[in-house]
């Protein structure tokens, strides 16, 4: 049996005297899609940010592709493999095409290759019509699709999405969910924190539930469960 893409043990997070998370183990398999559910304030966003190396926590081991990574410099080790997309994605005050291209420039990808990849990402996300528009003129759904395109273009092994359909109208939700489904089908490991039943019911979705600071199996029947320890 192959090793999981990500395995974290002994994860604990406290704010003052309050323990927010106490998770003995979480494992995510390569190419699989997961939904992280739980009440508001249960720690879903905090957990995603910890897994992305953006927020500190007490962790015994953080293993990526069966390799134990140094916790002191975790973000430096996983920044090309793990991408976290916030509920309200931050976009630079430039064109949408430049926003999508940004990560490729940081990685010093040659301009002709960047141009091709950006064009493909714009098509994939259905945002060609706003490629030369400033972010302030976009709707919430368009911003979310741009953020997904900017993520896809970098081809991370693990994508962490935080409430990607929150506060979107029905049409924008449907467009965003369609992109998430494509991403799940394209061999990325995707972990989505949300309450959206349309995402939860996507085919082959594995369910993780946060309650009382730890991961629990859901009681609902007919849902494929993730491996939870």
Q: State the 10-residue block means of pLDDT for the chain, 229 residues long.
A: 88 89 95 92 94 94 95 91 92 92 94 96 93 90 94 94 93 93 87 94 92 71 38
Taken in order of first residue, the domains within the chain and their CATH numbers are 6-216 (3.40.50.300)
DSSP the chain: -PPPSEEEEEEEEEETTEEEEEEEEEEE-TT-EEEEE--TTSSHHHHHHHHTTSS--B-SEEEETTEEPPGGGHHHHHTTTEEEE-SS----SS-HHHHHHHHHHHTT--HHHHHHHHHHHHHHHT-GGGTTS-GGGS-HHHHHHHHHHHHHTT--SEEEEESTTTT--HHHHHHHHHHHHHHHHTT-EEEEE---HHHHTSTTEEEEEEETTEEE----TT-PBP-B-
- Quick one: pLDDT at residue 228? 36
Q: Whole-model pTM?
A: 0.91
């Amino acid at each position: 049996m192959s090793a999981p893409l990500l395995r974290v043990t002994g994860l604990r997070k406290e704010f003052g005297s309050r323990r927010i998370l106490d998770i003995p183990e979480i494992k995510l398999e390569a190419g699989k899609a997961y939904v992280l559910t739980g009440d508001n304030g249960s720690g879903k966003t905090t957990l995603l940010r910890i897994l992305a190396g953006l927020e500190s926590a007490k962790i015994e081991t953080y293993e990526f592709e069966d390799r134990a990574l140094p916790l002191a410099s975790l973000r430096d080790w996983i920044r090309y493999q793990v991408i976290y997309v916030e509920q309200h994605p931050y976009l630079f005050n430039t064109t949408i095409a430049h926003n999508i291209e940004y990560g490729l420039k940081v990685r010093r990808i040659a301009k002709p290759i960047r141009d091709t990849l950006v064009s493909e990402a714009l098509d994939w996300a259905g945002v060609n019509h706003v490629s030369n528009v400033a972010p302030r003129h976009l709707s919430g759904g368009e911003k979310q699709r741009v953020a997904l395109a900017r993520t896809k273009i970098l081809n991370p092994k693990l994508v962490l999405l935080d409430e990607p359909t929150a506060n979107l109208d029905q049409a924008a939700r449907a467009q965003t969910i369609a992109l998430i489904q494509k991403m799940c089908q394209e061999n990325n490991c995707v972990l989505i924190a949300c309450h959206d039943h349309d995402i939860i019911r996507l085919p082959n979705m594995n369910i993780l539930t946060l309650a009382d600071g730890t991961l629990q199996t859901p009681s609902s029947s007919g849902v494929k469960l993730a491996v939870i320890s």
